[in-house]
A and B are shown apart, each in its own frame.
Chain A
Amino acid sequence: MKDCYLGVDIGSISTKGVIIDDENNIIASSYIWTEGNPVNAVKKLLEILKGKLDKNYQIKGIGTTGSARKLIGLMLKANIVKNEITAHAIGTLTFYPNIRTILEIGGQDSKIILIKNKIITNYAMNTLCAAGTGSFLSSQAKRLGINVEEFGDYALKSKNPVKIAARCTVFAESDLVHKAQVGYPKEDIIAGLCKSVVLNYLNNVGKGKKITPPIIFQGGVSKNKGVVKYFKKILKENIIVDENSHLMGAIGIAVLARKNKNGNTYSLEMKNLKFQTKAFECNRCSNNCELLKIYRNNELVDSWGSKCGKY
Chain B
Amino acid sequence: MRKIGIPRSLFYYYYGNLWQDFFDALKIDYIVSPITNKEIMEKGMKIAGSEMCLSLKNYLGHIDYLKDKCEYILVPRISNFKNDNQTCTNFWAIYDIVNNLFETKILNYNIDIKKHQTLKKGLFKIGKILNKSHFEIKKAYHYAIIKEKKRLKKNHQINQNKLKSKKTKILITGHPYNLYDELIGKEIIKYLNNNQVEIIYSDKFDPKITNKLSKKISKDLYFKYSKDNLGAIVYSQDKIDGIIFISAFPCGPDSLANELAMRKIDKPYLNIVIDDSTSFAGIETRLESFLDMLGGKLND
Residues of A within 8 A of B (CB): 67, 70, 82-86, 89-90, 109, 118-123, 125, 127-128, 207-208, 259, 285-288, 290, 307
On whether the beta carbons of A120 and B298 are closer than 8 Å, the reply is yes
On whether the beta carbons of B282 and A290 are closer than 8 Å, the reply is no
On whether the beta carbons of B39 and A286 are closer than 8 Å, the reply is yes
On whether the beta carbons of A287 and B289 are closer than 8 Å, the reply is no
Q: State in angstroms the CA–CA spacing of A259 and B300 once bound together.
A: 10
On whether the beta carbons of A86 and B298 are closer than 8 Å, the reply is yes
On whether the beta carbons of A89 and B298 are closer than 8 Å, the reply is yes
Contact of A90 among B259, B262, B281, B298 (CB under 8 A): B298
9 further interface pairs, Cβ-Cβ under 8 Å (given A86-B297, A286-B39): A82-B288, A83-B292, A84-B289, A85-B289, A86-B292, A125-B285, A128-B275, A128-B282, A286-B38
Scan B262-300; emit 1 where CB is below 8 A from any A CB, else 0: 110000110101010110011011101100110011111
Q: Known interface pairs A118-B299, A128-B273, A128-B277. Does A123 touch B293 (Cβ–Cβ under 8 Å)?
A: yes
On whether the beta carbons of A85 and B292 are closer than 8 Å, the reply is yes
Q: State in angstroms the CA–CA spacing of A287 and B262 once bound together.
A: 34
* CB-defined contacts of B157 to chain A, threshold 8 Å: none
17 examples of A-B residue contacts, CB within 8 angstroms: A67-B281, A82-B288, A83-B285, A85-B289, A85-B298, A118-B299, A119-B296, A119-B299, A120-B293, A120-B299, A122-B293, A123-B293, A125-B286, A128-B275, A208-B259, A286-B38, A287-B38
Q: State in angstroms the CA–CA spacing of A121 and B290 once bound together.
A: 11
Q: State in angstroms the CA–CA spacing of A307 and B36 once bound together.
A: 12
Please provide the 8 A-B residue pairs with the shortest distance between their CB atoms, ordered closest to farther. A85-B289, A286-B39, A286-B37, A83-B288, A83-B289, A208-B263, A120-B298, A287-B38
| Interface of B (DSSP majority class) | helix
Residue on B nearest A69 in the bound complex, by CB: B285
* CB-defined contacts of A123 to chain B, threshold 8 Å: 289, 293
* CB-defined contacts of A118 to chain B, threshold 8 Å: 299
Total contacting residues, chain B, CB less than 8 A: 29
On whether the beta carbons of A208 and B277 are closer than 8 Å, the reply is no
* CB-defined contacts of B285 to chain A, threshold 8 Å: 67, 83-85, 109, 125
Contact of B37 among A121, A127, A287 (CB under 8 A): A287
Q: State in angstroms the CA–CA spacing of A290 and B39 once bound together.
A: 14
On whether the beta carbons of B269 and A122 are closer than 8 Å, the reply is yes
Shortest distance from the beta carbon of B226 to any chain A beta carbon, whole Å: 18
Q: State in angstroms the CA–CA spacing of A122 and B267 once bound together.
A: 8
* CB-defined contacts of A290 to chain B, threshold 8 Å: 278
Contact of A122 among B182, B268, B278, B296 (CB under 8 A): B268
On whether the beta carbons of B38 and A288 are closer than 8 Å, the reply is yes
Shortest distance from the beta carbon of A302 to any chain B beta carbon, whole Å: 14
* CB-defined contacts of A125 to chain B, threshold 8 Å: 285-286, 289
Residue on B nearest A68 in the bound complex, by CB: B281
Shortest distance from the beta carbon of B100 to any chain A beta carbon, whole Å: 27
* CB-defined contacts of A67 to chain B, threshold 8 Å: 281, 285
* CB-defined contacts of A121 to chain B, threshold 8 Å: 268
Residue on B nearest A117 in the bound complex, by CB: B299
Residue on B nearest A288 in the bound complex, by CB: B38
* CB-defined contacts of A83 to chain B, threshold 8 Å: 284-285, 288-289, 292
